[in-house]
């Protein structure tokens, strides 16, 4: 398999995984879960692909404490961030209100994420 093709498969596998989970995993958890699907993948490759996906706006990062976590959901949602957890809140009325507020300030939101720190 060509290096390009291998890279595409690795990247697609990581992206699909992040589209499906709602646990906002850290890089180590992603590496361990992807290794089950692609045993030959290295930790460095997973980290590099995660950085690329963030740069391409395919996934987002969230910080909890001093830990970086990843989110591959494409639709806007609200994050409740506690000391040790990140919970998604999908409330269409609240999201609509936020979208309207953003429009009032001449922003056209591509994605809505509100972080509530408790």
Shortest CB 78 distance to Zn ion, Å: 9
Shortest CB 75 distance to Zn ion, Å: 10
Q: Which is nearer to Zn ion, 58 or 88 (CB)?
A: 88
Q: Which is nearer to Zn ion, 33 or 88 (CB)?
A: 88
Residues 6+ apart with CB under 8 A from 48: none
> What does the binding site for Zn ion look like in residue numbers (CB under 5 A)?
71, 88
Residues 6+ apart with CB under 8 A from 47: 27, 31
Compute the distance between CA of residue 74 and CA of residue 113 in angstroms, rounded to an integer.
11
Q: Which is nearer to Zn ion, 5 or 83 (CB)?
A: 83
What 3-state class would DSSP assign to 67? strand
Shortest CB 9 distance to Zn ion, Å: 25
Task: Return the DSSP state at 56.
Answer: T
């Amino acid at each position: 398999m060509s290096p390009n093709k291998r890279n595409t498969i690795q990247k697609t596998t990581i992206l699909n995984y992040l589209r499906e989970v709602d646990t906002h995993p850290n890089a180590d958890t992603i590496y361990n879960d992807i290794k089950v699907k692609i045993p030959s993948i290295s930790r460095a490759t997973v980290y590099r692909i995660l950085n690329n996906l963030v740069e391409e706006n395919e996934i987002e990062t969230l910080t909890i404490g001093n830990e970086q976590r990843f989110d591959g959901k494409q639709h806007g949602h609200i994050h409740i961030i506690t000391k040790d957890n990140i919970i998604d809140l999908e409330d269409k009325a609240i999201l609509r209100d936020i979208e309207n507020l953003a429009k009032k300030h001449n922003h056209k939101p591509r994605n809505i994420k509100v972080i509530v720190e408790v």
